[in-house]
Structure 1
Amino acid sequence: MDDDAIEVRGLTKRFGHRVAVEDLSFVVPRGSIVGLLGPNGAGKSTTLRAIVGLLAPTSGECLIDGTALSALDNPAAHVGVHMDGFGFEAGISARRHLEISRLAAGAPRARVDEVLEEVGLTADARRRVKTFSTGMVQRLGLAAALVGSPHTLILDEPANGLDPDGIRWLRRFLGGFAERGGTVLVSSHQLAELEQVVDEVVIIKQRALFAGRLGDLVTSDVDSLESRYFDLVEGASA
């Protein structure tokens, strides 16, 4: 197995005459947390959907563990995904949702209780999803992503709806996942929060504006991820 959990190679996606992503390339090293950043409409969701096989690239390719997701024998053991648009059946309980996810992933029955504990939803397992707060729905989505015991997580705005305690919990969770050898690709607008947890960043606006280690982007005490981000994004608009 090579050193990169995810590879995006020359990804281009067009919708008619509109270019969503153009010639985008980056890697997500194994055991790292990588932030995928960009303004609204920059192509972040398109990129994530191409990586997990929900969109076919116009050109280029996306690989997970060196292989297209569609060619993996047991995709849920390689990658867990939580993205906007992955809905929940509001009338069922959190436990039932995870039972369905477990069956789809081919995971053992005990895994449901394990992931409920991991995300702090054990006490709410029998509640209907329609009674959940936005933050609880985010935790349930993360639990579903974890149910196959994947090595890699792909998360789209996982901090949306979380209160400050929830955001701190998410930061610690992601850090612990990486410390145990896991890999995370996370899209977020929470730049100050992301700066505390990521090893690398990929900043895009249809094309890659920067892809590399956070320390190579934020190089002084007066810099921040937020300031460097706006330098790049506003510079690309000029």
Structure 2
Amino acid sequence: MNDHAIEVRGLTKRYGNRTAVEELSFAVPRGSIVGLLGPNGAGKSTTLRSIVGLLAPTSGDSLIDGAPFTALDNPASHVGVHMDGFGFELGITARRHLEISRLAAGASSGRVDEVLEMVGLAPDARRRVKTYSTGMAQRLGLAAALIGSPRTLILDEPANGLDPNGIRWLRRFLRGFAESGGTVLIASHQLAELEQVVDEVVVIKRRALYAGRLGDLVTSDRDSLESKYFDLVEGAPA
């Protein structure tokens, strides 16, 4: 099996005269947590949506477990996704939402209870989603991403709306997922928080400005991910 859970190869996406990403290439090693960073409009959402088959690239391609998302057998067992646009029917309960997700993923009937426990929502499973806080909705999105027992997670700003305890819980959860052999690609603007959890970072501004290990970018106690990030993006062409 390939050592990379995700590969992005020469990805370019144009919308008329506007180029969202251009010749973007990076890889996500198995068993790692990789942060995808960039300013607003840098192409992060375009990249994530291209990886999971929601956008067709102008050129280049993306692979999950060595194949395009659209060619995967039972994609939910390969990758779980939580990002903007993957909303909920607000009038149903969290349990019902996960039952629908379970059926779509072909998962076992007991999987709903498992993921509710994993994300700490079991006591609130019968509440309607419209009564959930933003942080609870984030946990529900993560539960839905986990429903197919995927080897890889793709998450877009999963810490938004979480209180400090929730952020600490998410950090520990993601680290445990990776230590058990899972892989995580996470897009976020919370640089200080990401620095505590990621193994590698990919900084983009339409193109890749840096793709590699965090320790090779932040090389001393005087450095931080935030300072190195701004060095990269402020020095890149507009």
Please confirm whether the aligned pair reaches a TM-score higher than 0.5, indicating the same fold. Answer: yes
For 2:66, what is the secondary structure of its paired residue? coil
1:58-137 to structure 2, matched below 5 A, reads: 58-137=58-137
Q: Tell me the distance in 2 between the aligned counterparts of 1:142 and 1:6.
A: 19
1:78-227 to structure 2, matched below 5 A, reads: 78-227=78-227
Structure 1: where are the runs of 5+ without partners? none
Q: Which amino acid aligns with 1:167?
A: I
The residue number in structure 1 matching 2:41 is: 41
Q: Does 1:23 align with 2:23?
A: yes
Q: Tell me the distance in 2 between the aligned counterparts of 1:9 and 1:25.
A: 5
The CA deviation at 1:85 is 1.1
Q: Tell me the distance in 2 between the aligned counterparts of 1:58 and 1:160.
A: 31
Deviations 1:27-79 (A, max 9, x none): 00000000000000000000000000000000000000000011011100000
The residue number in structure 2 matching 1:10 is: 10
The residue number in structure 2 matching 1:232 is: 232
Q: Paired residues, what number? A: 238
For 1:8, what is the secondary structure of its paired residue? strand
Structure 2: where are the runs of 5+ without partners? none
Q: Which amino acid aligns with 2:57?
A: P
Q: Tell me the distance in 2 between the aligned counterparts of 1:39 and 1:164.
A: 24
Detail structure 1 runs of 4+ shifted over 3 Å in the superposition: none
Aligned-pair identity (%): 84
Q: Tell me the distance in 1 between the aligned counterparts of 2:217 and 2:38.
A: 15
For 1:19, what is the secondary structure of its paired residue? strand
Deviations 1:127-148 (A, max 9, x none): 0000000000000000000000
- Give the TM-score taking structure 1 as reference length: 0.99
